[in-house]
């Protein structure tokens, strides 16, 4: 599958997470997925070679030829992954963009997963046209964050790794995975998330917080319960597709599709 000369501008977006790898072709002018999303389990162990094989499987599934955008749950700088919180430690300081590019044999752009979600929400979703400080918080295997200040994305913020509360880190306390692993009911999970958002309020004083990740599909279960904060909380417009869309957008900008 590739772009026709006068057809819609489409890029394959792939979202690598700690438990699943999702992908779909994206119309980068509208933010719409042009085919049903595919999902594969993240391989265990999630080494670069194993993950690259699944990314290749995704590319083959869509018979894709052309630019690819790919997210990764890590700090990504110049194509190198500088952290490895919820994946195999062999990703630490790995030339990840080159590894994945070699694996698929197509031009590929790698970026932080939450930054991709932020880019998508800024372009097509709840952050579009918003000035001031907007924080996108993705709740999944871990907690990802994307900070947008007056329309500019500040890359590689990792507020999910804040020490909260006390001797743990936030993503080990109120991520989507924690809710599932501990089988927390909403009445037990919501105070955890509320406390974390209050902590972010003290540190950052954002004007708007957008909650994304798989949990955002149930936003009516938790957003109305968030109290004691000085900002509006809304669900991500693109919900759990934001990473896919943002990855495709970044590749579109990198490779001249847009």
> What pLDDT score was predicted for residue 7?
85
Helix count and strand count (H, E) for the chain: 6, 13
Cα dist. 258→10, 212, 243 in Å?
10, 25, 18
Q: Which residues pair with 58 in a beta bridge?
A: none
Tokens 């595919």, located at residue? 38
> What pLDDT score was predicted for residue 34?
98
Task: Examine domains 10-115+241-254 and 129-236 and report if their fold is the same.
Answer: yes
Please say whether the beta carbons of 101 and 109 come within 8 A.
Answer: no
Cα dist. 216→145, 187, 223, 238, 240 in Å?
14, 16, 9, 9, 7
Give the pTM: 0.94
Q: Any idea where the domains of the chain sit in the sequence? A: 10-115+241-254, 129-236
Collect the ranges in the chain with pLDDT lower than 50.
none
C-alpha distance across the termini of the chain, in Å:
18
> What pLDDT score was predicted for residue 85?
86
* Domain 10-115+241-254 part of CATH 3.30.420.40: yes
Tokens 């847009």, located at residue? 258
pLDDT digits (tens, 9 = 90+) for 3-46: 656 789 999 999 999 999 999 999 999 999 999 999 999 999 99
User: What's the CATH fold of domain 129-236?
Assistant: Nucleotidyltransferase; domain 5 (3.30.420)
From the number of C-beta atoms within 10 Å of its C-beta (0-12, 13-18, 19+), residue 17 rates as buried
> What pLDDT score was predicted for residue 4?
57
């Amino acid at each position: 599958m590739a772009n026709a000369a006068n057809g819609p501008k489409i890029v394959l977006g792939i979202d690598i997470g700690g438990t699943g790898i999702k992908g779909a072709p994206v119309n980068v002018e509208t933010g719409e997925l042009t085919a049903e999303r595919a999902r594969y389990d993240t391989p265990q162990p999630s080494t670069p070679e194993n993950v690259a094989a699944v990314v290749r499987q995704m590319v083959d599934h869509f018979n894709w030829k052309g630019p690819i955008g790919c997210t990764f749950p890590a700090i990504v700088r110049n194509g190198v992954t500088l952290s490895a919180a919820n994946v195999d430690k062999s990703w630490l300081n790995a030339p990840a963009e080159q590894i994945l590019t070699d694996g698929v044999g197509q031009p590929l752009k790698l970026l932080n997963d939450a930054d991709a979600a932020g880019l998508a929400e800024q372009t097509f979703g709840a952050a579009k046209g918003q000035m001031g400080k907007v924080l996108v918080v993705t709740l999944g295997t871990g907690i990802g964050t994307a900070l947008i200040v007056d329309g500019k994305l500040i890359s590689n913020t990792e507020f999910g790794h804040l020490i909260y509360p006390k001797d743990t880190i936030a993503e080990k306390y109120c991520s989507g995975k924690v809710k599932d692993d501990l089988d927390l009911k909403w009445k037990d999970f919501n105070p955890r998330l509320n406390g974390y958002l209050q902590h972010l309020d003290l540190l950052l004083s954002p004007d708007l917080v957008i909650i994304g990740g798989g949990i955002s599909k149930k936003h009516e279960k938790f957003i109305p319960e968030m109290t004691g904060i000085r900002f509006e909380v809304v669900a991500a417009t693109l919900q759990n597709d934001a990473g896919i869309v943002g990855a495709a957008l970044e590749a579109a900008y990198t490779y001249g599709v847009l």
